[in-house]
Chains A and B, each alone.
Chain A
Amino acid sequence: MKIERLNYRFLLLLSTVLACTILAFFVGFIREETIVYTHFFYIPILLAGVWYRRKAVYIALLLSSVYILVTLFSPQAALSVHIFERSAIFVAVAYVIGFVSEERAKGEEKLKETKEKIKEERDKLNLILESMDDGVCIISKDYKVEFMNKVLIDVFGYHVGDICYKAFHNRDEPCPGCKNTEVVKGKTVRWEWHSRRTNRTYDLFETPLKNIDGSISKLTIFRDISEQKRIEDNLRDAEERYRVIFEHALTALCVIEHGKFVSLANKEFETLSGYSREEIKGKKWIDFIADEDMDRVQNYCEERRKGEAPACCEFKFVSRNGEIKHVNAWIEPIPGADSCIASLLDMTELKRKEEELRETCKRLAELDKMKSDFLNVAYHELRSPLAPIVGYASMLERCELPDKGKRYLYNIEQSARQLEKLINRMLELARIDGKKIELSLEWVRIPEVVSEVVKSLEPEAKEKRQKISMSVPDIEVQADKQKLIAILSNLVSNAIKYTPEEGKIDINVEDRGEDICACVADTGIGIPEEHLPKIFERFYMVDTSLTRKSGSLGLGLSIVKEYVKLHGGIVWARSEVGKGSEFFFTIPKRRKAIKKGA
């Protein structure tokens, strides 16, 4: 026996054996009896049988030999068959008890081993369940929660033993979507469940679980797919957003697979091509390109896929009914796919408009030329008959004429000159329109110009007994002298024309440093305010009634304006009806090179 077995059982057994031995000696030698003490011997034999199984036989043998020895040496008793019979019964009893208790111990051990194994397995299973990312629970067929793993407890709290619909959903009866009945009947289901409590979505895998007692529970595995769901939703949203953009873009869009087939097209593409979306899908891309452009567009697409060609290419697009449309195409490879997106802009209308515009421009240019030509011809044809009038009149002057005849002749000549002037103005304007005017610039002394104009117009003023006064500083400007004279004489002759007899005309020139500002003021009839902004317009006449002053085509002021503009100056007027008008114009002293021809 090993030392560790020296426990209380062993000590108790040893002490009962010792007590039995001492008692046997005491009874045998002192009281000289042998009959009674053998009964004590059963106690240690029983204990040994129970505790040490077959080893109880040794105790039985030991105690039998003590019994025989005590009997042998006792003064009263003598050895007999009776004594050996009792010893044999001791051994037999010890053997039987030892055998029985050993068999029992064997059974118990087996049971213990099995139990341990089961525990181990359960621990292992628990470990798996606890360390899983997924939630696991077992629910009995009457909705009782039998098991929850840690993941599930962390999320929903500990509810083992509770009724699942109460614990998880706060309901008084089973949930409408609950699959418990089906699963308990033996079906395995998989479904998606969104928990409003946790605001998460789970992929549920539910399968029947056979219990030891033969009943069936439901094993549910919760997989949290909220993140995946969110990504999917985002993806779907993004996809939807892009689909809407794609669909409603005002440009025709299509996706070309492998440079050959159209796999997707938007509404505008339908409109452009005349095909329905179903018809477009799978159609060859080249079917939309006019034959003559085919190679060019194919090459372009190829180069574009390599990223070499410019983004835009123009070609003729063939729609369903064979109609040719001019389109501008942008072809963009889709990264990571052997496909590209083509956006097509229908330029047909634009092209047509452009063509129309070009045609209109051409026609306008033609008309303009016609007008110019007409004016030139008209000028020539109007002047030609003037030649004999002026010519013969000048010859008549050399003849002896009565006074009356001389007066008539004078009137003829005056009218002819007037007519010539009007015709000249017409031509001048035609030339301004045709931009055929160029200034011949020189340094012009202003007093010289003013006195020349006044001298030529003085007779007219004198006739109306008008007084012309002037205040002109001695300055020089760089200008076209003839044009300057034309500007001033137009203004002064207007002033004379529209000022009543004995009126006053004032010519005033001011040196303003950079430029000069000239003013022709009169005390004439004035110009109504509403006409002021328009008086410089071509053919504009304040008075077109039959009572108007004759001898004007409404061209004088527009020529003034054009000439002043040519010099780089501005012209404006101020007037008060009944009191008079003031006409101003400026001429820069030095002509700036940039403004030339402006």
Chain B
Amino acid sequence: MGEEKEKKKRVLIVEDAAYMREMLQEMLHQEERSYEVVGFAVNGKEAVEKYKELKPDIVTMDLVMEEMDGIQAIREIKRYDPNALIIAITALGMSEYKDAALAAGADEYLWKPFTINNLFEAFERLLRKRGRGSEGNE
């Protein structure tokens, strides 16, 4: 792929369910040349802290979590770094949640359950969007 030369994208996985964290890591491992999991967070608060600490390229954000929910975390992260790339991943069905997540600043939205292909398609959409965005900026 064309992105081979590029630096690996550093991914922060925010998920409260351990099996989901593991699966996402496994999936990303399949494309280890492009993506690298740099850390995990189990709730929104930890996510914001980890983001500040690790400065990842992409954040996968669950919406339903203890302490601080995903939407709040998206808002916090975007406030800290407006250029952060965040993909909201949730099993919540209602489009209101999607709208809320996008309004908070999420760049992509992925419904559970998803296949590995769904995930990478979403990632690519995300990066393409950013690519266009940064081209415009530079």
Distance (whole angstroms) from the CB of A480 to the closest CB of chain B: 13
Could you tell me if A380 and B23 are in contact, using CB atoms closer than 8 angstroms?
A: no
In this assembly, does B103 line the interface, its C-beta being within 8 Å of a C-beta of chain A? Answer: no
Q: Taking the complex as formed, is A395 at the interface, i.e. its CB lies under 8 A from any CB of chain B?
A: yes
Docked-complex contact A390 and B114, CB < 8 angstroms? yes
Q: Roughly how many angstroms separate A416 CA and B112 CA in the complex, as a whole number?
A: 12
CB of A431 within 8 Å of the partner chain: yes
- Taken residue by residue from 390 to 422, chain A's Cβ proximity to chain B (1 for < 8 Å, 0 otherwise) reads as 111111011000000000000000001000100
Contact call B113/A376, Cβ cutoff below 8 A: no
| Alpha-carbon distance between A392 and B115 when the two chains are bound, in angstroms | 8
A388 to B23, CA, bound (A): 7
Residue of A381, A392, A416, A420 most packed against chain B (CB within 10 A): A392
In the bound complex, do residue A387 and residue B26 qualify as a contact, i.e. CB atoms below 8 Å apart? Answer: no
Q: Is A193 an interface residue (CB 8 A)?
A: no
- B118 shortest CB reach to chain A, Å: 8
On chain A, the residues within 8 Å of B114 by CB distance are 387, 390-391, 394
- What count of chain A residues pass the 8 Å CB interface test? 24
The closest CB in chain B to the CB of A416 belongs to B113
- The answer, yes or no, to whether A424 is at the interface (CB within 8 Å) is yes
Residues of B94-138 contacting chain A, CB below 8 A: 94, 112-119
Minimum C-beta distance from B96 to chain A (A): 8
Q: Is B27's beta carbon under 8 Å from chain A?
A: yes
Q: Which of A379, A389, A394, A416 contacts B91 (CB 8 A)?
A: A379
* Chain B residues within 8 Å of A392, by CB: 23
Q: Does chain A have a CB within 8 A of B54?
A: no
Q: Which of A329-387 contact B (CB under 8 A)?
A: 376, 379-381, 383-384, 386-387
Residue from B19, B20, B90, B116 in contact with A395 in the complex, judged by beta carbons closer than 8 Å? B116
Cross-chain contact A391 with B93 (CB below 8 angstroms): no
How many B residues have CB within 8 A of the partner chain?
Answer: 21
Contact between A380 and B91, CB atoms less than 8 A apart: yes
- Inter-chain CA distance A395–B27, complex, in Å, is 7
Residue among A380, A390, A391, A395 facing the most chain B CB atoms (10 A cut-off): A391
Q: Does B64 have its Cβ within 8 Å of any Cβ on chain A? A: yes
Determine whether the beta carbon of A387 is less than 8 Å from that of B115.
no
Q: Which of B23, B64, B92, B94 contacts A391 (CB 8 A)?
A: B23
Q: How far is the CB of B22 from chain A (nearest CB, A)?
A: 8
Are the C-beta atoms of A398 and B93 separated by less than 8 Å?
no
Our pick among A383, A394, A395, A416 for the contact of B93 (Cβ within 8 Å) is: A383
Known contacts A380-B64, A395-B26; decide if A387 and B91 are in contact (CB<8 Å): yes
Cβ < 8 Å to A, chain B residues 14-29: 17, 19-20, 23, 26-27
In the bound complex, residues from chain A placing their C-beta under 8 Å from that of B17 are: 384
Give, as a whole number of angstroms, the nearest-CB distance from B6 to chain A: 23
Interface centre among A380, A427, A436 (most CB of B within 10 A): A380
Bound Cα distance from A30 to B106, whole angstroms? 194
B112 touching A387, Cβ below 8 Å? yes
Question: Contacts of B20 on A, CB cut-off 8 Å?
Answer: 384, 387-388
A388 touching B91 in the complex, CB below 8 Å, given contacts A395-B116, A398-B116: no
A sample of 6 cross-chain residue pairs with beta-carbon separation below 8 angstroms, ordered by A number, consists of: A380-B93, A384-B20, A384-B91, A393-B115, A395-B26, A427-B93
Interface of A toward B, CB cutoff 8 Å: 376, 379-381, 383-384, 386-395, 397-398, 416, 420, 424, 427, 431, 436
